[in-house]
Amino acid sequence: MGGVFGKGTVYSFTIARRPTAPQWNDDGDYAIAIVELDEGARLTANILNCPPEAVNIGMKVKAHFQDVTAEVTLLQFEPA
């Protein structure tokens, strides 16, 4: 049985210059991307640990798990 290994490529992206929800009021600009996993599935996530202006289509990324609270962890991505 196959699995997902958390590596992929930025398929498309936009830069959010205004918060998309109140909890991100203090975050500044950030990249929201559609990431195509190496296994073929696509999902939407933020690109972390990279200036938004440096994100580009075709950029290789890897999974990054961001703990938001003790109970909530978000799947995000960062440059590979």
Q: Six-digit token pair at 17?
A: 């210059």
Q: Give the chain's domains with CATH numbers.
A: 7-79 (2.40.50)
Q: What's the chain's average pLDDT?
A: 92
* Predicted model pTM: 0.87
Q: How confident is the model at residue 1 (pLDDT cuts 50, 70, 90)?
A: low
pLDDT tens sequence across 14-45: 999 988 888 778 888 999 999 999 999 999 99
